[in-house]
A and B are shown apart, each in its own frame.
Chain A
Amino acid sequence: MTRPRVPWIVGAIVTVLVIAIPLYFFLPKNSSKAEEAWANVPTHPVHTDHKGLFTDYTLESGSDVTNACLDCHPDAAQEVMKTSHWTWENGPYELEGRDELVYGGKKHLINNFCIGITDNEPPCTACHIGYGWEDESFDFTQEENVDCLVCHDNSGAYIKKNAGYPADSVDLLAVAESVGNPTRENCGSCHFRGGGGDAVKHGDLDNSLLHPSDELDVHMGKYDFSCTDCHRTEHHDIAGKSISVSMDDENQVYCTDCHNEKPHDDERLNDHTATVACQTCHIPEFARKEATKTEWLWSQAGQDLPQNPHEYLKIKGKFVYEKNVVPTYAWYSGTADRYILGDKIDPTVPTVMNMPHGGIDDPEAKIFPFKVHNADQVYDTVYNYLLQPKTFGEGGYWSDFDWDKANRLGSEAVGMEYSGEYGFAPTQMYWPTTHMVAPAKDALQCESCHTKDDAPGRLDWEALGYQGDPMYYGGREQQLGVAPVSTEEQK
């Protein structure tokens, strides 16, 4: 008799498989939605330790460091120089109702905070990703002017001063040796401090995100995300943008980059996702830790009143700061209209600087939460347009408290006529609320919006274009025949 043809180990394996395979297929799987989302979170390469790599360099200025970086990363500066972090402009855009193309970005646009940067550069460009943007003569083609450190410093000791230069106290060698992947501190050094101080501009971005609780920001708190986990970056081009400076939604960041479009176990909740942005329910309030500026009256500037950065400053006027603010809800398709210097205004009604596009009849629009910043700001009462005053520097309002002079100098700088007559017109600006996502357990509940009887809910259905609460009247498909487009299709 011959030895058996099949080795016993084959039998053993077959036997185990016969048991294991059915068990695998028939046992209930605990695949949680959260785990599915994790699969989409990028992993970051381990950054090379740069200690000791700068022994051959003399690092006396920021540009010295940049040149040293470029020795090993020759494309880095060119990559950065293509981005709006460098150019502070984007577009050109075709906007409805305009013949000419318009440019976005801080370089061109005015807002209803410090208004505009032209001829006011140095304090503004402290947050520019470069060195030396002091006036219009700044050379945007010089590689050595790119500031690598503001994003890559991991020492926490890097500080920029006016025009973007490193502060005198900065030990450039120590900072250069510390470089690594951008952290929340890097991004936050500018983005948490927009408007000149912590939490001023954005209601959803401030220094509390450096060490947030689970409740304040579920991504950064509970799961320890860095900014670049969502704002994915390739060749220094960072995804994400806001309608405060942009008008389109190219290269935008979405919740659905990681999360399923129907992320809830509850069908009724999933029914909402084509009409209601995730942020609407999952960011019940903004400015939950630090108060944010919601109103700024430039018209009150120049008085000798008690000064307090949260209430009144002689150079800026009167402020209102609010905390735990219920957002303003509006239809939003991801793009926005824009006030461009020279546009006529009606000074009797608030001029919206960046009205979000969308409406109940726009199938791509969803209800989205915004921080609305109200202001009054200087305008030309003869030409009926907003002015960009010179605030900083010689002859600027912050030194001379002379609006007429500030308007004249500012208008000259931006190349606009100034009649010599000015007043203050109300303006509004929409800031999308998208950070500081609360944990699911703190999301809005049905009754937050859908109320019976007389109780007012969060959403004013009629203002949004509904005939009545969609819970009773049906959604926009039933009410108006508008079939919303899912996020997946929109992309």
Chain B
Amino acid sequence: MTRRTRLFRFAGIFTLFLIGLLAMGGSAQVALAQTSPIHPTFPLLDENGQNVLDSGAPVSTMATCGSCHDTEFIADHSFHVTVGLDQFTAPGAIEGSHPWEMSSGMFGGWDATAYRYLTPPGDQEFDLGVPDWIKTYGLRHVGGGPAMETPDGTPLTELTVTAGDPWTHSYDSETGELMAWDWSKSGVEEMNCFLCHFPQPNNQARKDALESGEFQWANTATLLGTGIVSHEGDEWVWNPDAFQEDGELDADHVTIQDPTPENCGACHGAVHMSTDPLTPAEITPDDWHTIRTGQIFSGQRLKDTGLNLENKQDLDRSLDVHAERNVECSDCHFAVNNPVYYQEPLETRPGHLLFDPRRLDFGEYLLRPDHNFARGQTAQHAVKPEYQDAMRRCESCHDAESTHDWLPYTELHMDTLSCESCHIPKLYAPAMQLDDWTVITPDGQANVTFRGVEGDVNDIHSLITGYEPVLLEQTEVTGESRLTPFNLITTYYWVHEDPERPVRVEDLKAVYLNEAGDDYAPEIITAFDANGDGTVDSAELRLDSDEKVQMIKDRLVGLGLTNPQIRGEVRPYNVNHNVAHGDYATKDCQVCHSQDSLISRSFVLAAYRPGGVDPTIKGDNNVKFTGDMAWDDETNTLTFTPATTESGLYLPGHNHVDWVGWIGLFSLLATLAFVVIHGGLRLYEAGKHAHDPHKEPEMRTVYMYTFYERAWHWLQAITILMLLATGIVIHRPDTFGNLDFGIVVPAHNVLAAILLINAVFAVFYHFASGEIRQYLPEPRGYFRQALMQVDYYMRGIFRGDPHPFAKTPEHKLNPLQQATYFMILNVLLPLQILTGIAMWSAMRWPNVMRSLGGLTWLAPFHTLIAWFFASFVILHVYLTTTGHTPLEGIKAMTVGWEEVEVEGREGTAVADSSAAGAGSVGA
């Protein structure tokens, strides 16, 4: 019987079974809940296809599962299996990576935090042979791939031992000798289906089997504890009671299931799905995602956990809203051909199709499920790049527009920020900060510093403060860049030789430890033990002086290494989990729109630099590091400070252009100075020439301003003042009130709309009524008249001279006013309106704004004009006091009637009736 027909026959039987179940009523489903509701019973087969009950041999998952599922296909379509084997190459051939890396996967690639290095073929300086790799990294490898074959596809069991070949040798760190590896004795580790598809796989027993070199038993060991197999002494014994008479596994023991978060968490990070409090003990060094970023997958509320969190009683949010709401790992990271989840990408789907119903049916899928799982677009894991962004991202499930109507400029925010930027405001577990492999502890580990915790990370009494991830720009698969949160881990390590490669752990041990390897060498203790207590603690275990660096360098050279150097590198680690519900996301505008903006907040990289070396940014990823790395001698920290302006971001309230501020301030202060000096002189002179009746002009009362003109003026005046007030809050929220952007920004926009509408009506009015002529200077004699007005302001006004031009309802404006208003109303105001509209339009049409230069250009320009407006307002108000009496001008603009000097009187320039003869209300 072929696999396919067996599977289909099963599907038929299963359907009948389901119908029977339904007929029996719902209760039968409960009885089945513990076992697999769908998977039939099956025999456990060894690699020869014999029932393990008969042969006593280790179970072969490829044969057992392969009797129905196409396990060859699955192994070939799984980056969890290949982990880089399929792109294995010579050292140095992987672009952008370290010169000693041979792939970008776990097999052949090199990760500074994991450190151990697979020896390349032909290299006699062994760190890890392939058997050692399985013992070391196999613990987090699902088997198959490099644990079964070489990059050219030769089964490991068929290899012949050649001298120094890493595939057939293991390095014995005790003796420092290479040992030939007998693959026929150890067997190989097949792809381990049980690890992900059993509810409680025994990963520890599997690891023990791998570490002891019993590779072929690793998959069997995974079943330890299920009652199917037991480990007695060195023997693995299959339990006949767990099997039916026909040799198939008893239905009670068939608990095959979809992978749960716990399955994924076994290798990827801390997962806690029960209602019992999450305890610190559940976070182990093997939880890489948790250790590296602080991510924990759990729906538990933080305050209900058993973690020693700062301000815990107030932490109402759950660790991860998706976990809380029953979204599991495989809901986003699904098998890409799973017919439930499969959705053709928008790029290839015809535009008229919302959903293409054609897909694998379940039988076909169960035969050949593609185990290349959909995944996001992280800075790590370059293996199988074609699956980057295959998974559903936030936007695939969430209609963010509908829930962010409270957020001004939604689209602009979404274009600039990933969802995670606001929805993962903080991580609540310690995360690696500095991983210092320039030194080594007696148990063979680096000296690691964590962020987000006060004190020793291994002490459950240490206070977990958590940390706010740094926002960096990441180029997504679509080509767009958005800010998204990261942890940055700095690693330091020794390299040697040329081309470089990392110094082996064995060599580090030889340098730092005594011969027994259980403590530091006496010379090391003498050199490093700063407090003289006879031991080297983790605060002392650092290369913080030239002498220490030289000492270690000498000792490395003494081992025969050439040219040892300290290298430091910073790597970004994406933070995508631990998503907070909107209630707990960053919503306060001032978090970013303020001086101390989140997007430019310094992120501590390290509290010391081994050997004083500045680390380099690891650039083989899609993250842009725009900003500055700097060592601060005062705080003794190495920090990275993002500089988002370099990538074209301008955040109102955070960014400002200095020269705009200086020019604006100068204009404002100069105006003020003029007003103070001029006004002071006027007061002084007024005292000297106290009331000279000869100079008292003859007065008459005229209806100067119509109701509409006054209403227009004051509406404009008030809106401009309020625009200046709200504008300055938006520009410098820290200095001016720190008011909520959510109110101030819309208020500014509404006021601007009123100003604009008012201006449109006014333009119409002025044209329709002909009043526009007030603003039009008479070309002939304009300069002479203007000079007369200047002369008046400079001299005549102090003497109490009459105004050179009488102000009449027909000629309200003097030549200077005409010039000024022309500038204000025809240049500044339109410019301000246009730049304002351009910035406002970003709310709906962000591309329009971008094509106009973006906020980087528009916002400073808008600010500059606002300074000029502010200056104008001051001057304007001051000059209103130059009328017949100081308050006459304001009174006229309020009630319409004004007392003005009678025209044509002696001393008043006689202008012909068509010339501008207006009077006093100043520019």
Query: In this complex, what residue of B is CB-closest to A10?
Result: B707
Residues of chain B lying within 8 A (CB to CB) of residue A18 = 715, 754
A15 at the interface (CB under 8 A from B): yes
Q: Which residue on B lies nearest to A23, using beta carbons?
A: B750
Bound Cα distance A462, B710 (Å): 76
Q: From residue 134 to 168 of chain A, which have CB atoms closer than 8 A to chain B?
A: none
A448-B406 Cα distance, complex, nearest whole Å: 30
Point out which of A1, A3, A6, A8 has the most chain B C-beta atoms below 10 A from its C-beta: A8
Knowing A4-B897, A445-B318, A453-B199 are in contact, say whether A19-B710 is a contact too (CB < 8 A). Answer: no
Known contacts A19-B718, A26-B746, A454-B199; decide if A468 and B29 are in contact (CB<8 Å): yes
Chain B residues closer than 8 Å to A27, beta-carbon distance: 743, 746-747, 750
| Nearest A residue (CB) for B33 | A454
Q: Provide the residues of chain B in CB contact with A447, threshold 8 Å.
A: 273, 299, 323-326
Other-chain residue from A8, A19, A452, A453 in contact with B895 (beta carbon distance below 8 A): A8
Minimum CB distance partner of B315 in chain A: A441
- In the complex, A448→B299 CA distance in Å? 10
Q: Is the CB of B711 within 8 A of A15?
A: yes
Q: Which of A459-489 contact B (CB under 8 A)?
A: 462, 467-468, 471
B318: chain A residues within 8 A (beta carbon)? 445
Cα A454 to Cα B30 in complex, Å, equals 9
Partner of B326, one of A6, A19, A451: A451
Task: Say whether A349 faces chain B, with CB atoms less than 8 Å apart.
Answer: no
User: Would you call B326 and A22 a contact (CB within 8 A)?
Assistant: no
Inter-chain contact A19/B754, CB cutoff 8 Å = yes
List B residues 657-710 near A (Cβ within 8 Å).
702-703, 707, 710
Q: Is the CB of B754 within 8 A of A453?
A: no
User: What are the interface flags for A263-287 relative to B under an 8 Å C-beta threshold, 1 for contact and 0 otherwise?
Assistant: 0010010000000000000000000
- Cβ-based interface call for A53 (8 A): no
B199 close to A4 (CB less than 8 A): no
| Alpha-carbon gap, A14 to B708, bound state (A) | 11
Count of residues in A whose CB is under 8 Å from the partner chain: 35
A118 → B minimal CB distance (Å): 43
Q: Give bound CA distance, A450 to B275, whole Å.
A: 13
A22 close to B746 (CB less than 8 A): no
Contact A453 B703 (CB under 8 A): no
Which residues of B have CB within 8 Å of A1? 702-703
- Please count how many residues in chain B sit with their CB below 8 Å of the partner chain's CB atoms: 47
Verify B711–A14 contact, CB threshold 8 A.
yes
Q: Known contacts A19-B718, A19-B722; decide if A4 and B325 are in contact (CB<8 Å).
A: no
Minimum distance in angstroms from B460 CB to a CB of chain A: 25
B741-756 contacts to A (CB < 8 Å): 742-743, 746-747, 749-751, 753-754
Contact A462 B325 (CB under 8 A): no
Q: State whether the Cβ of A52 lies closer than 8 Å to any Cβ in chain B.
A: no
A452 and B746 contact, CB distance less than 8 A: no
- With the chains together, A222 CA to B26 CA distance in Å? 44
Give the residue of B29, B316, B747 whose beta carbon is less than 8 angstroms from that of A23. Answer: B747
B34-A446 in contact (CB<8A): no
Is there a chain B Cβ closer than 8 Å to A455's Cβ? yes
Quick check: B324 and A26 within 8 Å, CB to CB?
Answer: no
Which of A15, A441, A446 has the most CB atoms of chain B within a 10 A radius of its CB?
A15
Residues in A with CB closer than 8 Å to B299 are 445-447
A439 nearest in chain B by CB position: B316
The distance from the CB of B739 to the nearest CB of chain A, in whole angstroms, is 12
Kindly provide the distance from the CB of A78 to the nearest chain B CB, expressed in whole angstroms. Answer: 50
User: With the chains together, A6 CA to B707 CA distance in Å?
Assistant: 8
Cβ of A306 under 8 Å from chain B = no
Cα–Cα, bound, A445→B199 (Å): 24
Question: What are the residues of chain B within 8 A of A442 when measuring CB–CB?
Answer: 316
User: A22 to B273, alpha carbons, bound, how many Å?
Assistant: 51
Residues of A within 8 A of B33 (CB): 454
Q: How far is the CB of A480 from chain B (nearest CB, A)?
A: 12
Number of A-B contacts (CB under 8 A): 92
In this assembly, does B274 line the interface, its C-beta being within 8 Å of a C-beta of chain A?
yes
A11 at the binding interface (Cβ < 8 Å) = yes
Give chain B interface residues in 25-41, CB to chain A under 8 Å.
26-27, 29-30, 33-34
Q: How far is the CB of B410 from chain A (nearest CB, A)?
A: 13
Q: State the CA gap A3–B318 with chains docked (Å).
A: 71
Cα of A4 to Cα of B711 in the assembled complex, Å: 14
CA distance A6 to B708 in the complex (A): 11
B203 at the interface (CB under 8 A from A): no
Point out the residue from B316, B714, B753 that lies within 8 Å of A11, measured CB to CB. Answer: B714
Q: Are A19 and B715 CB-contacts (below 8 A) given A11-B710, A452-B260?
A: yes
A28 on interface, CB distance cutoff 8 Å: yes
Q: Is B333 close to A, CB under 8 A?
A: no
- A12 lies within 8 A of chain B by Cβ: yes
Chain A residues within 8 Å of B301, by CB: 441, 445
A455 with B273: CB separation less than 8 A: yes
The reply to whether the CB of B47 lies closer than 8 angstroms to some CB of chain A is no
**What are the residues of chain A within 8 A of B199 when measuring CB–CB?**
453-454
B316 touches A441 (CB 8 A): yes
Q: Is the Cβ of B324 less than 8 Å from the Cβ of A12?
A: no
Contact in complex: B750, A26 (CB < 8 Å): yes
B257 within 8 A of A: yes
Residues in A whose Cβ lies below 8 Å from that of B710: 8, 11
Per the bound structure, the CA–CA distance linking A379 and B273 in Å amounts to: 47
- Measured between beta carbons, the chain A residues less than 8 angstroms from B275 are 448
B722 surroundings in chain A (CB, below 8 A): 19
Return chain B residues, CB-CB under 8 Å to A471.
326
Judge whether B719 is part of the interface by a CB distance below 8 angstroms.
yes
Instruction: Report yes or no: B751 in contact with A19, Cβ–Cβ below 8 A.
Output: yes
Q: Are B257 and A453 in contact (CB under 8 A)?
A: yes
CB of A193 to closest CB in B, whole Å: 31
Provide the bound-state CA to CA distance between A446 and B275, in Å. Answer: 12
List which B718-746 residues lie within 8 A (CB) of chain A. Answer: 718-719, 722, 742-743, 746
Q: A268: which B residues are within 8 A, CB to CB?
A: 325
Instruction: From A4, A6, A12, name the one whose CB has the most chain B CB atoms within 10 angstroms.
Output: A4
Name A14's closest neighbour in chain B (CB-CB). Answer: B711
Q: Across the interface, which residues of A come within 8 angstroms of B703, CB to CB?
A: 1, 4
Residues in A neighbouring B719, C-beta threshold 8 A: 19
A265 to B316, CA, bound (A): 17
Decide if B718 touches A455 in the complex (CB within 8 Å): no
Do A11 and B406 touch across chains, with their CB atoms under 8 A apart?
no
**CA gap between A455 and B325 in the complex, in Å:** 14
Encode contact with A along B221-245: 1 for CB under 8 Å, 0 otherwise. Answer: 0000000000000000000000000
The reply to whether A446 and B894 form a contact with Cβ atoms under 8 Å apart is: no
B718 touches A15 (CB 8 A): yes
Are B750 and A454 closer than 8 Å at their CB atoms?
Answer: no
Contact with A along B310-338 (1 / 0, CB 8 A): 00000010100001111010000000000
- The answer, among A445, A454, A467, for a CB contact under 8 Å with B34, is A454
Contact between B711 and A445, CB atoms less than 8 A apart: no
Our pick among B323, B714, B749 for the contact of A15 (Cβ within 8 Å) is: B714
Asked if A452 and B750 make an inter-chain contact with CB atoms under 8 angstroms apart, the answer reads no
Q: Given the complex of chains A and B, what is the CA–CA distance between A16 and B722 in angstroms?
A: 12
Question: Which residues from chain B contact A450 at a C-beta distance below 8 Å?
Answer: 326
B715 cross-chain contacts in A, Cβ below 8 A = 15, 18-19
Complex Cα–Cα for A3 and B702 (A): 10
What sequence of 0s and 1s flags, for each residue 21-60 of chain A, a beta carbon within 8 Å of any chain B beta carbon?
0110011100000000000000000000000000000000
User: Can you name 10 extra interface pairs (CB under 8 A) apart from A15-B718, A445-B324, A446-B324?
Assistant: A6-B707, A19-B719, A19-B751, A445-B301, A446-B326, A448-B275, A452-B328, A453-B257, A455-B274, A467-B26
- Rank and list the top 7 A-B pairs by shortest CB-CB distance, nearest first: A441-B316, A446-B325, A26-B750, A462-B26, A8-B895, A447-B299, A15-B715
Question: Which residues of B are in contact with A by a Cβ distance under 8 Å?
Answer: 26-27, 29-30, 33-34, 199, 257, 260, 273-275, 299, 301, 316, 318, 323-326, 328, 406, 582-583, 702-703, 707, 710-711, 714-715, 718-719, 722, 742-743, 746-747, 749-751, 753-754, 894-897
- 20 A-B pairs with CB atoms under 8 Å apart are A4-B703, A4-B896, A8-B894, A11-B710, A15-B718, A18-B715, A19-B719, A19-B751, A19-B754, A22-B750, A26-B750, A265-B582, A268-B325, A441-B301, A441-B316, A445-B324, A447-B323, A448-B275, A453-B260, A468-B26
